[in-house]
Amino acid sequence: MNPPQFKSKRTVFITSLLWLLTLLTPPLTVADAKPTLTIYTYESFVSKWGPGPLVEKAFEAECSCDLRFIGLEDGAALLSRLKLEGERTSADIVLGLDTSLTKEALETGLFAPHKMNIPELGLSLPWDDAYFLPYDYGHFAIIYDTQRLNNPPHSMKALIENDEGGKLIIQDPRTSTPGLGLLLWVKSVFGTTAPQAWEKLAPRILTVTKGWSEAYGLFLKGEAPMVLSYTTSPAYHMIAEESDRYQAADFAEGHYAQIEVAGKIVNRPQSKLADDFLAFMVSPRFQDLIPTTNWMFPAGRTEKPLPEAFNKLVRPVRTLHFTPNEVTTHRKEWINEWLHSMSR
């Protein structure tokens, strides 16, 4: 132990030194602090294998800001969260809605125009929305395990009517954009008889999850031989795992399309930073990440060609789609039909 006198002198010296350093160090000002851009998205986007970490690193390298992702179960949950928070939301951008939800999202009054010259963006699909910008697109599909299902369905009708067709995992249309996509897919094929189709399929639905990640995880664990996902999902297994085990069933009626979008929230302090991010989102720096991290088709210009595995994917014979207005008008009605049919 040190003598008490030495300890006292050392304490006085350290205290004086800290006081001197305080005087010489300028205080941190508001200008020195990095601004934070908060983005609501879905959980698979921000997972360690999703695009989120790479997007964060790339954007922060040029923005002198902190990019903060908040992940929710799935796309439809984003809209529910936004409605609940209203003007109190901490989001600067919402990334992960799709065109089936954009009309309803716009009706909240929480979104600001993006004010970009769309023709100059070089998007890979037709687009004229003044509030939302697309970042990827694809088609929904029933993915099946070739080691467990020898005769996959080749039409929506066959999926519904084959009592021995194997169990299926789907997502909830109230919380998940893929779940809503399947509901719209069935409606586009069966029309007014969609409730009867759901009643027929219900006994073979193993479970209904809140989001895509949970559903696909259960599928890969072998809980069921089929799961609702995307025609692009097999590309992940081909590239990351060098496996052809999981494939998309090619449906004769066609496949329902999904276009995923982002929009900025009105009257937020980081409005300029949000504009910068949206411009970054449709640039090759972001779009080049989409095929092999979000496993979808890029909606904007890319500098890298698509991986060869994308040439082996199912190409829908027909693209099925409802307009945002049609979905907004009928969404609650069709979801209620689904709930009633699934409970019988």
The 10s digit of each residue's pLDDT in 10-41 is: 444 444 444 444 444 455 444 458 999 999 99
Mean pLDDT of 68-96: 96
Domain ranges of the chain: 36-136+259-312, 138-257+316-343
Query: Which pLDDT score is estimated for 13?
Result: 41
CATH top-level class of 36-136+259-312: alpha beta
Best CA proximity match to 262, nearest among 134, 138, 139:
134
Query: Which pLDDT score is estimated for 4?
Result: 41
CA distance 270 to 274: 6
Could you report the per-residue pLDDT of 51-67, keeping only the tens digit for each? 999 999 999 999 999 99
Could you report the per-residue pLDDT of 317-339, keeping only the tens digit for each? 999 999 999 999 999 999 999 99
Mean pLDDT of 66-76: 94
CATH of domain 138-257+316-343: 3.40.190.10
Q: Do domains 36-136+259-312 and 138-257+316-343 have the same CATH topology?
A: yes
Query: Which pLDDT score is estimated for 73?
Result: 87
Q: How far is CA 30 from the centre of its chain?
A: 33
CA distance 21 to 116: 49
User: Is the four-CA dihedral 11, 12, 13, 16 of positive or negative sign?
Assistant: positive
User: Is the four-CA dihedral 84, 55, 242, 124 of positive or negative sign?
Assistant: positive
pTM: 0.89
